[in-house]
């Protein structure tokens, strides 16, 4: 099911006033109240929507130092063509990694990733329609109402709640590719005050709405704040939403941009034997390296589904050796998603003192101090088969570089990897400072595999990608970053 589609939109005007054959009477009454509060026919008959957002982003779980919050800027424009099932989302980001101006266009059947700073395009056949702009849709109350209309058959009344001293009714419904969403409907006004969803790793994600505005008969919140487990992550600076506007050029893939080709399909588990007891395994956006240490494996790469990656390696190698050590490359929350799994597998954690706290925060059980092996500068494991070096980059003040001499291989985690079938990943400040740290070690002609890309890269590739890198300014003709 697409997030928005032509057929569902055409039915919405009828569904807004007629009880569906799936939802119960309570749910229908609430949904009808919400739709009316947000504009009724004006909303249900809208043919397009353009959201222009400007945020401050607090890097919760993603700062270069876990004790100090990094703050970035994000400008987003999302355009949805309800009639023809198309979406386009453009992002301008300024953060410790540099500046980024990227766009994703989905025509309903296929998508393109566009890098406007490098003037490149890449077809992305693996990207679901619902995923395009999904984050912005979740942060926008009126977009959630459109989604609720499409997902009416899945809506369930989830009880009452008092929020900011006012009575609210809770409705839980489904969004493709996301945990279920629960909206808090003000019982008097019918407006959404809050939306919540659960993340198995991060806990409760809360979207808080306020400062409602009516324009063209449609109401929306001009203020939104997003919290992760009660801590602010996204703070609204400004928001403007237009309906039924011209969309000239919004879904065009620029002519004259260089093609980066397609992406490697990683939707199924990939497991590779790199020789000498070195293995690489992963799926989608999470990969790990495993090194046979005799009676156990030493691994790096901490995304969720670590047991599945270990099993794939065991099947490939024809053994059932356990995971003995999990190297924690850095403290970012996404890379700690598999730490609880590592603990349950009985592994010790190889990390630095500053990152013990973030690792412990992800663990559900009691793990003794003896299961933390702290690296002070350098360390060696599995009789020298795995070497670990603490380096510093813009991405993380402490990053444990994992080097496997037998394969002349570095596990680069976030710093340098790609799923492009050809070409190189775009440079950023994280990658450039990673190169500087690598070259200072004078390790020779290296190979690289990362947590997010399955194609092996080389030291020459790293140099080519980062030669002449500078943090870019906003290019001419892009209002999204003009000021």
The pLDDT tens digits of the residues spanning 94-114 come to 999 999 999 999 998 889 999
CA-CA distance, 322 to 270, in Å (whole number)?
Answer: 19
Domain covering 26-259, topology = outer membrane lipoprotein receptor (LolB), chain A (2.50.20)
DSSP SS3 for 355: helix
pLDDT in tens, 411-458: 999 999 999 888 899 999 999 999 999 999 999 889 999 999 999 999
What does the alpha-carbon distance between residue 213 and residue 215 come to, in Å, rounded to a whole number? 7
The whole-model pTM stands at: 0.84
pLDDT value at residue 185: 99
Quick one: what percent of the chain has pLDDT higher than 90? 86
pLDDT greater than 60 at residue 15: no
Top-tier CATH class for 270-466? alpha beta
Number of other residues whose CB lies within 10 A of the CB of residue 202: 17
The ranges of the chain annotated as CATH 3.60.15.10 are 270-466
Q: What percent of the chain has pLDDT over 70?
A: 95
Average the pLDDT over 158-187 and give the result: 97
Nearest to 31 by CA among 161, 134, 183: 183
What's the pLDDT score for residue 469?
95
| Rounded Cα distance, 373 and 351, in Å | 6
For residue 2, pLDDT over 60 is answered with no
Within a 10 A sphere around the Cβ of 56, how many other Cβ atoms?
15
Q: How confident is the model at residue 123 (pLDDT cuts 50, 70, 90)?
A: confident
Q: What is the pLDDT of residue 423?
A: 87
For residue 52, the model assigns a pLDDT of 97
Interval 462-476 mean pLDDT = 96
- CATH 2.50.20.10 domain span(s) along the chain: 26-259
Mean pLDDT of the chain: 93
Look-up of token digits 């019918």: 190
User: Is the pLDDT confidence value at 23 over 90?
Assistant: no
pLDDT digits (tens, 9 = 90+) for 40-78: 999 999 999 999 999 999 999 999 999 999 999 999 999
pLDDT for the residue numbered 110:
87
Confidence band, pLDDT 50/70/90 cuts, at residue 201: confident
């Amino acid at each position: 099911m697409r997030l928005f589609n032509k057929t569902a939109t055409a039915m919405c005007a009828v569904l807004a006033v007629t009880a569906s054959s799936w939802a119960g009477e309570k749910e229908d009454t609430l949904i009808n109240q919400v739709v009316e509060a947000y504009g009724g026919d004006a909303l249900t008959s809208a043919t397009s929507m353009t959201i222009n957002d400007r945020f401050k982003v607090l890097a919760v779980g993603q700062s270069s130092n876990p004790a100090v919050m990094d703050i970035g800027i994000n400008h987003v424009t999302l355009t949805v063509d309800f009639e023809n099932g198309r979406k386009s989302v453009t992002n301008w980001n300024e953060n410790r990694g540099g500046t980024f101006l990227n766009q994703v266009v989905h025509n309903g059947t296929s998508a393109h990733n566009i890098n406007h700073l490098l003037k490149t395009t890449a077809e992305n056949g693996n990207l679901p329609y619902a995923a395009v702009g999904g984050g912005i849709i979740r942060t926008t109350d009126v977009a959630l109402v459109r989604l609720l209309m499409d997902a009416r058959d899945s809506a369930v009344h989830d009880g009452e709640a008092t929020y900011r001293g006012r009575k609210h009714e809770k409705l839980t419904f489904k969004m493709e590719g996301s945990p279920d969403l629960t909206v808090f409907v003000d019982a008097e006004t019918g407006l959404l005050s809050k939306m919540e969803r659960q993340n198995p790793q991060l806990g409760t994600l809360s979207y808080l709405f306020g400062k409602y505005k009516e324009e063209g008969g449609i109401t929306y919140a001009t203020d939104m704040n997003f919290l992760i487990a009660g801590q602010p992550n996204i703070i609204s600076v400004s928001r403007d939403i237009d309906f039924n506007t011209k969309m000239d050029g919004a879904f065009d893939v620029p002519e004259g941009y260089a093609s980066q080709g397609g992406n490697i399909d990683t939707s199924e588990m990939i497991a590779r034997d790199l020789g000498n007891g070195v293995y690489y395994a992963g799926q989608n956006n999470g990969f790990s390296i495993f090194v046979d240490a005799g009676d156990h494996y030493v691994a790096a790469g901490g995304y969720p589904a670590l047991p599945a990656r270990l099993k794939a390696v065991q099947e490939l190698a024809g053994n059932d050796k356990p995971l003995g050590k999990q190297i924690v490359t850095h403290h970012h929350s996404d890379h700690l998603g598999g730490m609880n799994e590592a603990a349950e597998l009985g592994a010790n954690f190889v990390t630095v003192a500053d990152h013990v706290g973030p690792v412990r925060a992800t663990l559900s059980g009691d793990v003794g101090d003896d299961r933390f092996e702290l690296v002070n500068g350098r360390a060696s494991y599995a009789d020298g088969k795995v070497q670990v070096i603490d380096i510093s980059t813009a991405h993380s003040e402490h990053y444990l570089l994992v080097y496997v001499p037998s394969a002349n291989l570095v596990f680069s985690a976030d710093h340098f990897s790609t799923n492009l079938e050809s070409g190189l990943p775009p440079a950023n400040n994280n990658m450039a400072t990673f190169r500087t740290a690598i070259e200072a070690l004078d390790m020779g002609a290296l190979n690289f595999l990362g947590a997010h890309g399955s194609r092996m890269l080389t030291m020459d590739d790293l140099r080519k990608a980062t030669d002449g890198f500078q943090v870019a300014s906003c290019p001419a003709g892009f209002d999204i970053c003009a000021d």
